[in-house]
Amino acid sequence: MKKYRSFFRLRFNMGLQYRAAAAAGVATQFAWGFMGMLAFHAFYETDPASFPMSITATSTYIWLQQAFLALFMGYIMEGEIFDSILSGAISYELCRPLSVYNMWYARSLANRLSKAVLRCFPILLVAAFLPAPYGLSAPVGPGEFLLFLLTMALAALVTVSFTLLIYMLSFFTLSPEGLRIVFMSIIEFFQGAVIPLPFFPDRIRSVMELLPFASMQNVPLRVYSGDLAGAALHRAVFLQLFWLAVLLGIGKQLERRAMGRIVVQGG
């Protein structure tokens, strides 16, 4: 375990060095956040009675989504890993006395955390001072805030676990680009990154909430604003734990199969 913590620490510290890129990302996320917020406010003013979330909860959802974008977005994958599989440089990784899956898991989690740490504080600070209902509201209570932290940690682990499946599946393809494009679109749509899940029709939403993607950003962002509580919250946390265990199990199984058939050609 110590060696994986070292990989985590190295990747995390490396990610903290890209401050200029983080500043550019913050500016971009402010722009997208304002556009999304204004779009939902326009829909709300048209027909407030049919809005499935309160306008304050919706604004909070959008700003939290932008603040922690790096933790949950499907497009945040490491090109180095795909390149090592395609080029055969993975052979150097196989010489190390450790699990490729565990090593990539540690560095992927650290990569997402470092990006989120650099970007979240400016966005949260500015959003907190915006006038209601356009800004970030305070959590419903201290208990909800603790649940938010717990569910956000589980959501990040589920997201990384699903990303690792894409890395492992790349061993069985000639090019990972198709996998990246397909799964990136699926993750962002079904986790509520494009449209929050409460805005979908009830029958569709009930199915979407059972999928692993709903256990990503959908749960913590709705817990913070109080939109997810009671029995629905208990079920959501259970599904987060369930999908985390399932994805980890599938990922380790794919690793065993990939390591048993991998062939590196050349000198």
* pLDDT tens track for 178-200: 888 888 889 989 998 888 999 99
- The Cα 26–Cα 243 span in angstroms is 31
Task: Quote the number of domains for the chain.
Answer: 1
Closest residue by Cα to residue 219 from 241, 200, 203: 241
Q: Is residue 221 part of a domain?
A: yes
Do 36 and 62 meet the contact criterion of CB atoms below 8 Å apart?
Answer: yes
Q: Which residues contact 189 (CB under 8 A, 6 or more apart)?
A: 213
Provide the CB-side half-sphere exposure for 231 (13 A, CA): 0
Q: Is residue 267 part of a domain?
A: no
- The Cα 135–Cα 58 span in angstroms is 10
Tokens of 59: 């604004």
Q: Is residue 266 part of a domain?
A: no
Phi and psi for 153 in degrees, rounded to 5?
A: -65, -45
Query: For the whole model, what pTM was predicted?
Result: 0.90
* pLDDT tens track for 101-147: 988 899 899 989 988 888 888 899 989 998 888 888 888 888 889 99
Residue 67: domain span:
2-261
- The Cα 126–Cα 14 span in angstroms is 26
Q: Which residues contact 78 (CB under 8 A, 6 or more apart)?
A: 104, 107, 108, 111
* pLDDT tens track for 48-83: 888 888 888 889 999 999 999 889 888 888 878 888
Residue type, 45: E
Q: Is residue 167 part of a domain?
A: yes
